[in-house]
Each structure stands twice: as C-alpha cells, then as structure tokens.
Amino acid sequence: MSTPLINTLEVLNKENRISFHTPGHKKGKAYENTGDGGIRENLYQYDTTEVFGTDQLQDPSGVLRESQQWTAGVFKSSRAYYLINGSSAGVLSMVLSQTKPKDEILLPRDVHQSVIHALILGDLTPRFIQPGIDPLLNIPKGITAQQVQEGLKKHPNCKGVLLTHPNYYGRGGEIREIRRLTRKLGIILWVDQAHGAHLGLHPELPLSGIDAEADLTVMSFHKTLPAMNQSAVLFAMGDRVDRDRLLEHLNIHQSSSPSYILMASIEQGTRYYSEEGKEKMGELLEGIDKFEKKFQNLQLFQLDRAPGKDRTKIWIHTENSGKTGSEVETYLRENHGIDMELSMPQGLLALTSMGNSKKDLEKLYLAFEELEETLYNKGKMEKFAGNLRKEGIFDREVERQQEEPSGIPIRTAFYSDKERVSINKSLNRRAGSAVTPYPPGIPLILPGEVISPRLRDKLLEYEKRNIKLIGIKEGKIMVVTEE
Ligand SMILES: Cc1ncc(COP(=O)(O)O)c(C=O)c1O
C-alpha cells in the first residue's frame, strides 16, 4: 500500500479522539481562540531555509537572535537556544559542552535515555542517586537536597548535578536547596525540565529551573505548551556556562537545516506563554480541581495528590481495581476515544495541557465512573497487584537499580564487540546496549550492567506480556562478547 503513514494519520484524525498525551497543542485546539500565528495557513510558505532575512541557527545574528532573546526575556532567563531536535538535543548539548571525558556527574538513576546517550558519547562517569519510591503508588519521587548532599559527599569530584524536574509523574525535586548546594561548591546544575515548559505560569506549579537560577535548563515546548513535536528550548544563566562550547555542541547535535516551521512554533509557544498562558493555566487547574474532587468518589482508582506536584500530570493508580494501567488505557481508547500518555502495571498518566478543555476532563472522569460501575457489577476485582508483585514486574520501572550499574564504563561496554543472545542465555553477561521501555524512555538496563537473575526474569516477564522494549529484538538482547 502506498503512503501507509499518511493513510493512518488520516484515519486517526477523522476519529476525533481526546488527547491526554503530547504534543501540548492538542491537535491545534489550544490555538482555536487565539490563532497560531498563521503557521497552519502558510505551512509551505513558512517552510523556508537560511536565505536573506531568515538568519542562521548555527550562529544567529539577525531575526533568530532577536527571537531567542525575546524568548529568554519572557522566561526570565539570560539566553535561549532554539532546539529543533527536541530536548534530546538540548540534553546532549548542555551536558557534553560543560564536561570532559571521564568527568563524574551526579544524577538520578531514572533519567531519560538522552542523558544516558550523553554519558556514552562523552565517556562520562555517572554517580547515581536512587530516587525514593512512593510506597502507596509505586512511582518515583523527586530528588531531595539531602540525597544530593550525600551523593556529593561520597563523590566529591562530581563536576555537576543533573536533575529531572519534574519527573514523568509530575514530582519535582528540591531544586532551590539543591541549587544552593551546587553554588556553594561552584559546580554546575543542569535541569532536564522536558516536562515543565509550563512551569512559572501558576504559583501552585513546582518552581522552574530558571527561577531556581540553574545554569542550564532544557524544556520541551512541545510536551506541555502549545507547540509542535520536537520544538524545545535550552536556557542558560549565569557565568559558569561556557557558551562557545555550548553553541559548538548544539551544532553537532542539531540538523544543519533547521525547520522554520518548528522555530515559528517555538516562538508561538512563547507568545502563548507570555499572553494568555497565566489565564489559561488558571482555567486548566480549576478544571483539574473539579476533576480531582469528583474523582474522590471513586473507590477503585486513586489520584496522586502529593503536595507540590505538577497537577497537570494526572497519575491514576489502578492497583485496587483489579486492572492494570495498560488494561485501563486500552479500555479508555476502545470505549471512549481517549488516548493517554503512558500506562504501567500500577497505573496510567493523563498529560493535560492548556489545549485540554473542561469537557475533556469531564469525559475522562465519566469514563472512570463507568468503568468502576462495570467492575463492581461484574465483581471483577481480582487482586492483580499481589499477583504482579509476585511475578516481579509490578515495579518494572521503579525497581531499585544497582548504584554502580556498569562496573565497566558505559561507553566501553557500548563500543565493545557485541552479540545478540536469547534472554535466557544473557544471565550473568554484561549488556552491550540499553534496554528501555518507551514511554517513559527510562532505561531499565544500562550498557555494561550485569544481567542478574532478577533482571533476566524481568525481561522474560516483559516478553510473556508482549510489552515492547527498545533494545530487545526477536527475544534477543545485545551483550558484550566474552573474550
Ligand atoms: C525527562 C525527559 N527528558 C528529555 C526528554 C527528551 O525530550 P524530547 O522528546 O523533546 O527530545 C524526554 C522525553 O520524553 C523526557 O521524558
């Protein structure tokens, strides 16, 4: 069949589904009242290149420089760098430009894969902090200042600290206190704020990396602001950042043909943030308040209501319902035309943005109300949580990882001679590549990590349940070839 992708997009588009996932413009709905700066109407005309008047992203001195300066000002930072390869390019550039091979950095184990890619490319030595786990909801918490302090005491040579803030579930770290620690030691603070471009729009939201004066903060505009996929911005503050090296690295990790559509979309995201952002965020949080209040009537499903979390990320715990998060996700998709961001055995995530209406939230609530009623009527609440825990997959993403997972440097393992072996045969071998459930894109196994009986069993469990893992192909995992 020709154009299979376009055909599929056409079909999905006609279904008019409700989006609780990225991108944050929610099929353009965020622009319904205020317009999108003419992007949709002039798509092909705006899709230009570096010609007279359009400046050069590799070394901006004209309109792109002006646009970036404006974005920096709106977000109260000193410099902004437009990213057309998502926060992934920003993470690589911000980490690699401020480190040298073999440097140690302190970071949580549940970082996004782009950070692991930076470790591989830069031959960096990770010193991992284990995130705390919420005992009721079984999701990772934000990183505390005490954890960072202890990590830096144990590894005093760290050149910097990297935080994911907020994490995928909306839990933030103690960013202000952590900033105090890094400042005192004169080391860098990188903030992976891919999920928090909307922070700063409401006092209830966690503090932004910029407000905490982090040296470098990267934000995926496309995730939580109205902007197109891949549009993101890296913000730099203070005088610790080597800006020449930063620009060099941005040019390594980004396309030399930057999309003007994406850059216009970033600018449009900034405009939205600066003009109607505060009002729209207030409305969204009001809608979420109502949703949360009604949701308390339900017995089988619980929301994450941790104080200070980013409430625009609605984590719904399904453990008491007898259904896994993935089963509930399928139910919502098939019966209510609702698409969620992420599901795990213990729950699922609705990623809301200012493009979601109160009606969307109402429909989400009603779908859960109906599901609860059906489950009660059918008496179908098996104790799935206990079973899953026994099977060892329930905590699939949040299990405690080894603190020094590689034993050999991640880069050495990655570039070693490698071979694919069956999961059973991988026991006690070193992984040659990362193994990652996606989403959330947080590697379960890192290159160099020894496949313990527990990890092997986990991989088998994934296989049994038909859950796709990036890094596993036809039941085989890449391991380092033995001498
Ligand atoms: C924590 C985190 N950092 C970075 C990224 C990469 O962002 P992008 O998709 O904009 O490249 C993601 C993507 O999901 C993420 O979850």
Q: What is the DSSP string of 147-182?
A: HHHHHHHH-TT--EEEEESS-TTSPPP-HHHHHHHH
Phi, psi for residue 153 in degrees, rounded to 5? -70, -40
Question: Is the CB–ligand 1 distance for residue 232 below 6 Å?
Answer: yes
Instruction: Return the CATH number of the domain spanning residue range 278-391.
Output: 3.90.1150.150
Q: In the structure encoding, which two tokens stand for residue 355, read together? A: 């493009």
Name every residue whose Cβ is closer than 8 Å to that of residue 326 and which is 6 or more positions away in sequence: 343, 344, 345, 348, 467
Quick one: pLDDT band at residue 408, thresholds 50, 70, 90? confident
Instruction: Please tell me the pTM assigned to this model.
Output: 0.94
Residue 199: is its pLDDT beyond 70?
A: yes
Give the pLDDT score at 381: 54
Half-sphere CA count of 54, side-chain side, radius 13 A: 15
CB 268 within 8 A of CB 227: yes
Residue 290: is its pLDDT beyond 70?
A: yes
Q: Tell me the average pLDDT of the chain.
A: 92
Index of the ligand 1 atom closest to the CA of residue 111 = 1
Give the pLDDT score at 320: 87
The topology under which CATH files domain 410-480 is Molybdopterin biosynthesis moea protein, domain 2 (3.90.105)
Short-list 79, 71, 78, CA closest to 265? 71
Give the pLDDT score at 379: 62
Residue 68: is its pLDDT beyond 90?
A: yes
Q: Which 3 state secondary structure label does DSSP give 20? A: strand
Residue 391: is its pLDDT beyond 70?
A: no
Residue 268: is its pLDDT beyond 80?
A: yes
CB 272 within 8 A of CB 225: yes
Question: Is the CB–ligand 1 distance for residue 21 below 6 Å?
Answer: no
Residue 400: is its pLDDT beyond 50?
A: no
DSSP 114-134: HHHHHHHHHT-EEEEEPPPB-
Q: Which of 101-115, 396-410, 415-429, 431-445 has the lowest mean pLDDT?
A: 396-410
What is the per-residue pLDDT across 124-169, written as a single tens digit (0 to 9) for each? 999 999 999 888 888 899 999 999 999 999 999 999 999 999 999 9
- The strand pair at 125-129 and 104-108 is best described as parallel
Residue 403: is its pLDDT beyond 70?
A: no
CB 120 within 8 A of CB 447: yes
Quote the ligand 1 centre to 232 CA distance (angstroms).
10
Give the pLDDT score at 388: 47
Quote the ligand 1 centre to 45 CA distance (angstroms).
29
Exposed, middle or buried by CB within 10 Å (0-12, 13-18, 19+), for 175? Answer: buried
Residue 63: is its pLDDT beyond 80?
A: yes
Give the pLDDT score at 407: 64
Quick one: pLDDT band at residue 33, thresholds 50, 70, 90? confident
- The strand pair at 216-220 and 188-192 is best described as parallel
What is the per-residue pLDDT across 347-384, written as a single tens digit (0 to 9) for each? 999 999 999 999 999 999 999 999 999 988 766 555 44
Short-list 67, 18, 10, 2, CA closest to 358? 18
Question: Is the CB–ligand 1 distance for residue 194 below 6 Å?
Answer: yes
Quote the ligand 1 centre to 89 CA distance (angstroms).
9
Question: Is the CB–ligand 1 distance for residue 88 below 6 Å?
Answer: yes
Pocket test for ligand 1, best of 112, 113, 116 (most atoms within 8 A of CB): 112
Quote the ligand 1 centre to 98 CA distance (angstroms).
20
Question: Is the CB–ligand 1 distance for residue 267 below 6 Å?
Answer: no
| Domain spans in the chain, listed from the N-terminal domain onward | 43-274, 278-391, 410-480
- Residue ranges in 15-110 assigned as alpha helix (H): 43-46, 63-74, 86-96
Q: How far apart are CA 194 and CA 216, in angstroms?
A: 12
Half-sphere CA count of 363, side-chain side, radius 13 A: 18
Quick one: pLDDT band at residue 238, thresholds 50, 70, 90? very high
Instruction: Specify the higher pLDDT residue, 483 or 58.
Output: 58
Taking domain 43-274, whether its CATH number is 3.40.640.10 is answered by yes
Quote the ligand 1 centre to 225 CA distance (angstroms).
14
Give the pLDDT score at 382: 53
Q: How far apart are CA 217 and CA 459, in angstroms?
A: 34
Q: In the structure encoding, which two tokens stand for residue 221, read together? A: 């505009």
- The strand pair at 188-192 and 160-164 is best described as parallel
Q: How far apart are CA 84 and CA 254, in angstroms?
A: 7
Name every residue whose Cβ is closer than 8 Å to that of residue 455 and which is 6 or more positions away in sequence: 444, 445, 449
Residue 397: is its pLDDT beyond 80?
A: no
Q: Which helix (H) or strand (E) holds 479?
A: strand 476-480
Quote the ligand 1 centre to 169 CA distance (angstroms).
13
Quote the ligand 1 centre to 323 CA distance (angstroms).
28
Give the pLDDT score at 225: 97
Give the pLDDT score at 399: 47
Phi, psi for residue 326 in degrees, rounded to 5? -70, -35
Question: Is the CB–ligand 1 distance for residue 113 below 6 Å?
Answer: no
Q: Whose CA is nearest to atom 7 of ligand 1?
A: 87
